[in-house]
């Protein structure tokens, strides 16, 4: 009873904080609603007030609200995928960026953007529409399977191999993406730059609906896995003795995290290190107890990315700073901090 109510308490507090921050973020921006508060404008929109100006409507709903929701969804997914990967690899350094998942996704997404035009017409309509997204998912999945094969044998992960195979995949991705940039046309070039920097500026409600569906499916599978990830710390054989179907668990994590990372990359480009920062902070508070840090990373990830995105679009207003710069700025030092802490065990 005790731990259960504690978890729900933390979840409630952080969810409330998220709501407050989301409302605050609504107030931040260059556009002026003729002296009205953005919150009033939003409630006018929701209640269907006919007096609402078209431009006000557009800015509050299709620009700000859509972007805030997207940062919440993407942040949550990136954090949960990071936490699950760390559980699978039994190491706090495992994140989508470090092990090459993000690069794999970016690479195939870039190929789809630049070369997609040549073979798009042969594909079914459904696939055509979401070609970039599907490519990103496949890219992430391939990278994941490659890294896992290289770095893990007999249920033990070699951390050095894991990170180095990530380096290899990243450099392959970097060179091919570079080549694609070199041969791409103007419009494609803009798309590609967007992948590499990461941005939530292209948020729309259609994208949010897709993200929400992906989240619902992924979390239904992953969030109840806290116990299983704890048991994995004993080693795979002992986890099996505790009644955990280890093979199935591993497959589920591989597929679902690839799906989440791929979707995030397809919609917002490379926003690095969220999956590293969030579990790092939670581990300081709850050790590595995944029954706590897995569900809490879903909320804390949203909080982090919402704050980062609000800063990125307001710090150099009316222009905006690519959000990836901010998250990497926090993430890099944390990565080094974890490395130093693990120096002795590497």
| Binding flags for another protein, 249-268, as an x/- string (CB under 8 A) | --------------------
Write down how long the chain is.
346
Instruction: Please report how close the Cβ of residue 341 comes to another protein at its closest, in angstroms.
Output: 11
Asked whether 286 and 293 are in contact (CB, 8 A), the reply is yes
| Binding flags for another protein, 327-346, as an x/- string (CB under 8 A) | ------------------x-
Q: Where do runs of H (alpha helix) occur along 90-235?
A: 101-119, 125-129, 131-151, 159-183, 186-197, 205-222, 226-232
Q: From 305, 325, 316, select the one nearest 81 (Cα to Cα).
A: 305
User: Residue 14 or 288: which CB sits closer to another protein?
Assistant: 288
Q: How far is CA 178 from the centre of its chain?
A: 23
Instruction: Please report how close the Cβ of residue 83 comes to another protein at its closest, in angstroms.
Output: 14
- Distance, CA of 180 to CA of 113 (rounded, Å): 9
Instruction: Please report how close the Cβ of residue 327 comes to another protein at its closest, in angstroms.
Output: 25
| Binding flags for another protein, 3-42, as an x/- string (CB under 8 A) | xx--x-----------------------------------
Rg (CA), the chain: 21
Which of the stretches 73-81, 136-144, 283-291, 330-338 binds another protein when contact is defined by CB under 8 A?
283-291
Instruction: Please report how close the Cβ of residue 177 comes to another protein at its closest, in angstroms.
Output: 36
Instruction: Please report how close the Cβ of residue 279 comes to another protein at its closest, in angstroms.
Output: 12
Q: From 25, 31, 22, 23, select the one nearest 317 (Cα to Cα).
A: 31
Q: From 99, 120, 23, select the one nearest 272 (Cα to Cα).
A: 99
Instruction: Please report how close the Cβ of residue 331 comes to another protein at its closest, in angstroms.
Output: 21
Asked whether 87 and 253 are in contact (CB, 8 A), the reply is yes
Binding status of residue 241 toward another protein by CB under 8 A? yes
For helices 290-314 and 274-286, what crossing angle results, to 10°?
130
- 263: its two tokens: 């979707």
Binding status of residue 158 toward another protein by CB under 8 A? no
Instruction: Please report how close the Cβ of residue 197 comes to another protein at its closest, in angstroms.
Output: 35
Instruction: Please report how close the Cβ of residue 338 comes to another protein at its closest, in angstroms.
Output: 12
Which of the stretches 135-143, 197-205, 221-229, 253-261 binds another protein when contact is defined by CB under 8 A?
221-229
User: Residue 278 or 323: which CB sits closer to another protein?
Assistant: 278
Which of the stretches 163-171, 224-232, 261-269, 301-309 binds another protein when contact is defined by CB under 8 A?
224-232
Measured over the CA atoms of residue 325, residue 188, residue 260 and residue 140, the dihedral's sign is negative
DSSP string, 242-286: TT--HHHHHHHHHHHHHHHHHHHHHHH---TTHHHHHHHHHHHHH
Query: Which residue from 28, 150, 238, 320 is in contact with another protein, where contact means CB under 8 A?
Result: 238
Asked whether 79 and 142 are in contact (CB, 8 A), the reply is no
User: Residue 62 or 247: which CB sits closer to another protein?
Assistant: 247
Q: If binding means CB under 8 A, how many residues of this protein chain bind another protein?
A: 27
Q: How many CA atoms lie within 13 A of 119 on its CB side?
A: 10
Binding status of residue 178 toward another protein by CB under 8 A? no
Binding status of residue 150 toward another protein by CB under 8 A? no
Binding status of residue 84 toward another protein by CB under 8 A? no
Binding status of residue 83 toward another protein by CB under 8 A? no
Asked whether 241 and 313 are in contact (CB, 8 A), the reply is no
Binding status of residue 234 toward another protein by CB under 8 A? yes
Instruction: Please report how close the Cβ of residue 340 comes to another protein at its closest, in angstroms.
Output: 16
Binding site for another protein (CB under 8 A): 1, 3-4, 7, 224, 226-228, 230-231, 233-235, 237-238, 240-245, 283, 287-289, 291, 345
């Amino acid at each position: 009873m005790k731990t259960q109510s504690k978890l729900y308490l933390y979840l409630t507090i952080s969810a409330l904080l998220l709501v407050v921050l989301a409302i605050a973020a609504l107030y931040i921006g260059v556009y002026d609603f003729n002296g009205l508060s953005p919150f009033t404008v939003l409630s006018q929109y929701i209640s269907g007030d006919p007096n609402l100006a078209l431009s006000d409507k557009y800015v509050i709903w299709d620009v700000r609200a859509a972007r805030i929701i997207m940062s919440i969804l993407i942040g949550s997914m990136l954090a949960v995928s990071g936490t699950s990967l760390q559980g699978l690899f039994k190491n706090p350094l495992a994140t989508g960026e470090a092990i090459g998942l993000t690069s794999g996704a970016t690479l195939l997404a870039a190929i789809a953007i630049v070369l997609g035009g040549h073979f798009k017409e042969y594909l079914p309509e459904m696939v055509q529409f979401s070609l970039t997204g599907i490519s990103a998912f496949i890219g992430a999945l391939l990278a994941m399977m490659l890294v896992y094969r290289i770095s893990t044998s007999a249920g033990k992960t070699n951390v050095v191999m894991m990170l180095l195979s990530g380096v290899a995949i990243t450099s392959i991705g970097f060179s091919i993406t570079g080549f694609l940039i070199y041969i791409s046309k103007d419009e494609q070039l803009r798309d590609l730059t967007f992948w590499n920097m990461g941005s939530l500026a292209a948020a729309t409600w259609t994208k949010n609906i897709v993200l929400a569906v992906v989240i619902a499916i992924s979390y239904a599978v992953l969030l109840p896995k806290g116990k299983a990830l704890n048991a994995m710390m004993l080693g795979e054989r002992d986890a099996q003795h505790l009644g955990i179907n280890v093979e199935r668990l591993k497959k589920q994590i591989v597929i679902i995290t690839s799906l989440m990372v791929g979707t995030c990359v397809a919609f917002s480009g490379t926003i690095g290190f969220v999956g590293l920062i969030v579990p790092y902070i939670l581990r300081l508070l709850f050790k590595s107890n995944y029954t706590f840090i897995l569900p809490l990373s879903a909320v804390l990830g949203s909080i982090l990315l919402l704050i980062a995105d609000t800063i990125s679009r307001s710090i150099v207003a009316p222009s905006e700073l690519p959000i990836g710069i901010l998250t990497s700025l926090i993430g890099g030092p944390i990565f080094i901090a974890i490395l130093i802490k693990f120096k002795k065990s590497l």
